[in-house]
Amino acid sequence: MTIEYSIKTGRPEKQRCGCIVLPVFKDGKLTDIAEAFDKLTSNSLGQFLAKGDFKGDAGEVMFLYGISQAASDRILLVGVGEQDKLGFANYKKAASAVAKRLDESGATDAANYLATVASDKLTLAQKVRELVLSTEDALYNFDAFQSSKEKKRRKFKRMTIFVNQRRETSTGETAMTQGVAIAEGMALTKDLGNYPPNICNPGWLASQARKLGRKHRKLKVEVLDEKQIEKLGMGAFYAVSKGSKESGKLITMQYNGSGKKSAKPIVLVGKGITFDTGGISIKPSAKMDEMKFDMGGAASVFGVMQALLTLELPVHVIGVVAAAENMPDGSASRPGDIVKTLSGQTVEILNTDAEGRLVLCDALTYIGKYKPETVIDIATLTGACIVALGHVASGMLCNNREVGDALLDASQSIDDRIWELPLWDDYAEQLKSNFADMANIGSPGAGTITAASFLSKFTEDYRWAHLDIAGTAWKSNADKGATGRPVPLLMEFILKHI
């Protein structure tokens, strides 16, 4: 973790530290905590705000110095926008702006009063947890391969999160602990995603799983290699993997914290294409580097396992990663090839770039042996999902209302957004093949749904939901990098499940 957190109550002017962070509403309207501070410091804020330099817009920050009645070195005002509009969006803006500003400052610690602000839309737990998540997200950086740049030594080290009442501290502490674990999980997810594809290949992912297993005794790790994948009858998985000189791996990480051997597990299955060239149906070269993020689903499974191990939650969760590299090669699959899946159904591969569903369908059949209570697969599966939902929401499709609703509910309460698309039978028509049981692509239109529809033919024996994170797993352009999504969603789903 980049920062150390703690929960406290107490008056701001009394805090002896590098900085006191005080929230202010739009147009300089004081929040309760800022007003109390103002009264005890001879109207210090009122006088300053009257000058009109600080508007209180969400994410606006400004340092104040020289307030003699305050014990801290400086005050950081942070705008949270209009009082009645204060929800996740503005709160996140404020929390990240504070983190960035503090990190650039000379302060080593801060007393942050942001979570004391009143909001109809956010509970105390949400405010505290989000403060940790936004801070860690704002301060994340990936410099493992930047040798020339001077490695940044972080001065800012401690943040005390203030709550209004003593009786709120235990809620605050639970939320803080969850926030820290989720943020650590997200950082792992981001790191794995950001690693270059010449290092982060299926074998390397397997070694990362083994490393996690060595660190935590409670994690059982198993790895199947390409030969075993083929021998077990996973013809679709093998068809993708065989085009690369890197052996594909089916990685299983089992964590049973339930205390009961017989507890039915939640199984998470992540698409782990460590690089997607498209195969023989090769992709255009623009932005192809971003196809190193095609293992984002797998990376989120790692992130969740890591967070579960930190929190030692009483749940049984099995994380499965279907890792392969999709390459064009003399031994690569051709458009027109027909393969037999582990389920016995045959698939005509009409497009080798629709590889995610090929590795996933066999992984989804394989995990049937665990008699899962619920299965969620997470995949950067379709460009069509970006057309439909952009980079805001992940796509969600399910074969069970309860699971779908639980995911929608978790999504709302941790603000890791998803949007449901229909999985009606009509769409399955598009997958008809003249030569096999089904084709691996549909006729044009509804690409995200036909992909899910393909997977649904392998998930009939259990409650299942599919998350298409093609638009949400990473960002492009100047802030190119993995986002750590949907680790918050999955963790909230599991936490609410207990």
* Stretch binding ligand BES (CB under 6 A), from 9-17, 185-193, 210-218, 374-382: 374-382
Nearer to ligand BES, 58 or 359 (CB): 359
Binding flag, residue 415, Zn ion (CB under 5 A): no
Does the protein bind Mn ion through residue 468 (CB under 5 A)?
A: no
The reply to whether 188 sits near ligand BES by the rule CB under 6 A is no
Q: Are strands 109-112 and 19-24 parallel, antiparallel or unpaired?
A: parallel
Q: Which residues contact 66 (CB under 8 A, 6 or more apart)?
A: none
Over the window 263 to 292, marking each residue x when it contacts ligand BES by CB under 6 A and - when it does not, the resulting string is -------------x----------------
Identity of the residue, 78 or 431, whose beta carbon is nearer to ligand BES in the bound complex: 431
Find out whether 394 and 381 touch, Cβ atoms under 8 Å: no
Which residue number has the CB closest to Mn ion? 353
Q: Does 258 bind ligand BES (CB under 6 A)?
A: no
Other Cβ atoms closer than 10 A to 460: 10
Question: Between residues 353 and 416, which has the closer beta carbon with respect to Mn ion?
Answer: 353
Number of residues that bind Zn ion (CB under 5 A): 4
Measured distance CA(159)–CA(242) in Å, rounded: 50
Q: Is 357 a catalytic residue?
A: yes
Q: 224: number of CA atoms within 13 Å, CB side?
A: 21
Query: For 102-105, which contacts have Cβ atoms below 8 Å and span 24 or more sequence positions?
Result: 102/19, 102/21, 102/76, 102/156, 102/159, 103/138, 103/139, 103/154, 103/155, 103/156, 105/18, 105/19, 105/63, 105/74, 105/156
Applying CB under 6 A, among 258, 346, 351, 433 the residue interacting with ligand BES is 351
In sequence order, the 6+-apart residues with CB closer than 8 A to the CB of 148 are none
Three-state DSSP class for residue 13: helix
Shortest approach of Zn ion to residue 355 CB, angstroms?
Answer: 6
Looking at residue 30, the DSSP 8-state letter turns out to be: B
Binding test (CB under 5 A) with Zn ion, winner from 130, 168, 294, 468: 294
Site for ligand BES in 423-452 (CB under 6 A): 441, 447
Q: Nearest-CB residue to ligand BES?
A: 383
- Mask 265-284, x = binds Mn ion (CB under 5 A)? -----------x--------
Kindly tell me which of 137 and 276 has the beta carbon lying closer to Zn ion.
Answer: 276
Of residues 132 and 360, the one with the C-beta less far from Zn ion: 360
Q: Is 191 in the site for Mn ion (CB under 5 A)?
A: no
| Options 210, 283, 340, 475, the catalytic residue | 283
Pair of tokens at residue 480: 């190119």
Nearest to 278 by CA among 263, 290, 270: 290
The least distance separating ligand BES from the CB of residue 271, rounded to whole angstroms, comes to: 8
Nearer to ligand BES, 354 or 388 (CB): 354
**Which residues inside 323-382 make contact with Zn ion, applying CB under 5 A?**
356
If binding means CB under 6 A, how many residues of this protein chain bind ligand BES?
Answer: 15
String of DSSP letters for 65-126: ---TTSSSS-EEEEE---GGG-SHHHHHHHHHHHHHHHHHSS-SEEEE-GGGS--SS--HHH
Is 464 in contact with 360 (CB distance < 8 Å)?
Answer: no
CB of 378 vs Zn ion, minimal distance in Å: 13
Using the rule CB under 6 A, is 355 a contact of ligand BES?
yes
Interface with ligand BES includes 483 (CB under 6 A)? no
* Long-range contacts of residues 26-31, Cβ cutoff 8 Å, at least 24 apart: 26/55, 26/56, 26/57, 26/79, 26/80, 26/81, 26/82, 26/83, 27/55, 27/56, 28/52, 28/54, 28/55, 28/56, 29/56, 29/83, 31/80, 31/116, 31/117, 31/118
Smallest distance from the beta carbon of 303 to ligand BES, in angstroms? 19
Q: How far apart are CA 200 and CA 147, in angstroms?
A: 19
The residues facing 19 across adjacent strands are 110
| 353 is a contact residue toward Mn ion (CB under 5 A) | yes
Residue 248 as a binder of ligand BES (CB under 6 A): the answer is no
Residue 52 CB, shortest distance to Zn ion, in Å, is 52
155 labelled catalytic: no
Both structure tokens of 199: 């290092």
Could you tell which of ligand BES, Mn ion, Zn ion, none binds residue 41, using a CB distance below 5 to 8 A set by kind? none
193 is an interface residue for ligand BES by CB under 6 A: no
Q: What are the φ and ψ backbone dihedral angles of 184, each rounded to 5 degrees?
A: -65, -40
Tokens 């064009």 -> residue: 328
**Which positions from 261 to 280 touch Zn ion by CB under 5 A, shown as an x/- string?**
------------x--x----
Check if the beta carbon of residue 136 is closer than 8 Å to that of residue 95: no
Q: Which of 357, 417, 463, 485 is catalytic?
A: 357
Q: Which of 13, 109, 137, 294 binds ligand BES (CB under 6 A)?
A: 294
Nearest to 297 by CA among 363, 214, 199, 347: 363
197 binds ligand BES (CB under 6 A): no
Catalytic residues: 283, 357
Binding site for ligand BES (CB under 6 A): 276, 294, 351, 353-356, 380-384, 441, 447, 470
Binding site for Zn ion (CB under 5 A): 273, 276, 294, 356
Binding site for Mn ion (CB under 5 A): 276, 353, 355
